[in-house]
Chain A
């Protein structure tokens, strides 16, 4: 805060003298304009574009040469790498352009070839080969190489694609996969934290080759360096000496010469003397002795001495991101000294401890960077494989010269990437990194669920740990991550969602920034001694966690940088901010920072003025123009915390304010944006709605009828909500809605509405309210086997006696596949497939062998019949026939179906009432739904009551009202509108009972509320069983609805019965109704006998038969097999 010179003069009233700043009209229009270029899923796409266009080339360049050991002349050099356009390989090097929808339908992978230009040695010649295929890259939809980019809505429709589909996901073997945004601590930054009471400074260095962690910790009052590669901690002074800072004075100067620091450092220096380490070599030898012993030493590594090893350790492994040239460790020593200094500061002042949950210390990893890691790993393995092939083959004498190109298998990289994305297991060998669940199948339950998934942020934090820190709402999340949208339960606070205007940076190159910094007065540290570096007048400048130099005029530096950024001379996403406690200036250009646009305020006035907005309205100004003109800039979390941001124009303080918020509702994310008046609700209710909006059915895209998903729910008559919000329009929810406006009466009716149950009007249902379509698909492939046989499909079988088609095959067409439009009932065959037996010798030629095919029909299961919507016959990537059948059900709401409003108020249908029994008002309006008023007091969803009012007024006026967060139509205006149209100001009407015909005593609050039908329907859950299948091993009833399982009388229920003393009931439930077994027991020896014959006694003299659970008998047998003999002693019972 030292930065701001608050000119708090005596006449602070100057603020009052100023003309008040008028609120900009239609300022929110900047949001859609922003969303055109950034935000929502654009970060995925930007990151992936950066990867396939820039980073992949860098990776190939970093690993550009492959040599081989057997021929010193042989080499391969990669000149360039490209990712092509999506196609399908159709064998014989023929490829065909493809579309995402084709891949979805045909279970293919939407991918593009990765080609390289190479230069290599063939025989004795140097050969250049262009466009050599080395692998395939799964393509992100709507990325730069995708066929969907820059297409008009009409063209998208021709490609069977929905124009509102956000893209940003992959299609792997027909499955839509999202690489979730991963949140982690930023790399290459010092983080000072308290670990088990001791202060430590930790740096996770990450370079292309290495990922290491270096700690400076306090141990017995002394500072030591700890690293994974070292078996023991190293006194810090030794570390300095190993890095060539040999004199104690120099060490002290680097760390700092304050009294406190000197006092703290003295024991460390002493330590070094006690160890008798004075020179660099002595120090290195000491470190060398602490090296972890490597198991497998390669041949040439043996020659190296521990000193060399230690020197290499310091050069490349410890603090790997600080580059060392020619073993000049000076910069690294300064870096280490700063780490020590931070620890000392934190010891003196607990406030200096960093907060690891602070979002400035976090980086979000996106698809691009994750794929880059994966690709580099695979590429290295690919090169290693080439090398080992060359090693093996070159020494052999051959007729043709060795051509490495023939040994390039594109399958390695392609399958590696496909497998990683489809399984979500990210195994990076060189970092020893293993992560699971990185990808998820894109949920297509509703448009919102798909969009919500694209903005999801996954934390690396373990879900089982019980710490509140990482889960709680961090103030620095403001505007970056949605405060409402997080799941309940174990993922609470760990899985988050991006806010509407968040952008995640992709990295931009450091050199121009470093050069600019030098021109702006940053001096290189390599030329300065410790005393100068630690001089109080000087601020140290970091660029992406690396020391860049020191600056004597940090304010000017920051000002220059910001000016350059606003002029567009450096990337808009470079951030610069000071830290006054550490006396440093940080410049960041790395990827994964959260940032967000703000209007710049200068001298108390926002630079964006009304005419700018008017230009925007007229379409002659875009968001980029605002950036280019320096009216708006992006701030990341760190820089945001160095700024003063006013929420509204009225809040601008002319001396302090630096920025102005564009629109406050953008602090919410996509899902929370659907809630009308969320600022009137109790906050958990908005969170519940965020979870439920993803289960609401409606429309999933304009191409929903062309899709063949395993499960799809659609509403027959979806409606746009009467009370919209800006977010709804921005994300096109009004075009792809998921719900219907129900006229709701808030009153009690019949007692079937307790516990949030809803009463529905039968006539409304008859007229189509809540009607939904459920699509399921069945699929099969016709495999071809190695022994020249293949699966086949037969036409319908006929009954031998009557000649009629058997019932199970009634719906089959002549081709053996169910015909579209037919009704399918339980256990009917959809595809009459047959399979040859598995062990079959190759068919001998000439003699057609009779093969006994086995029936493997695809049958329909379900208590309610379906209709066949369509049948697709195609081929998949293995050239096998692929048959997909889409089944359809139309479902009408029934008792037990779940509905929810947009305020986290879910309820099941408790009763469906005839229209004439429903209450009606003066105008003859009969509600579609009755909701019990007890739902309100404890939930405090005031937003819902306002939605009802605004919806009712909107009906009268014939317009949509807005319930945008922190704005929207005012209750006063809405009520005035109601009054104007002759309704009660408070929205309460007189209702008559439909049963008695007399007016109800209370006035009823009624009007339209947007209700969502949730995917949980009775029909999918109903289950009962009298008898049925049993598990083979235990003979107990199977478990679960899908296996027609029994209903378990669990432990707690058992306890109840024991407590009650209902022993016979218990016996029946637990044994007779489950796995009763009549076992023979030998009275003499107490063991199980078989068939009235005791094998142990060799007699049947004393065998009696008793009833026991089969599981018990099984236990006895299992015990017996482990040499434990359970014996039963039988007694006469009565």
Chain B
């Protein structure tokens, strides 16, 4: 019914549709909010918590690296990078005491919680996280906020090649306009 070339074209079209639909789903996970000085980002990793819970309950430490970057959209040239933030978080389980140590490596803060859901939420969500100072933004311009996430088991995050070799587990973007 279809020739070989037409089959290839259909497959390419379907792949593109899937890619863009995936992007659209991911984009809904990113929300941009602002106050007078700062632009904030709220994002959640749309992954089932059971898998993470299972791993944490098995005593396996988990780490995530969030990468947030803001670009100024330029139609006929490469986008201009405005800001780039890396947030590294780790949860270390203590199976004997049923407590979870939450570490924010960027801030250097560590605390223990007894709730597994809190540990999972700590890994999978950024709540109103400050991204960029609005003084760096130009009025009337449109900006893109790209968010990506890489997850690691144990301490493998510290291996330099993982940053190069490992693909993103999650990526999303959102755009916002400066008034």
Whether A and B are associated in the same complex: the answer reads no
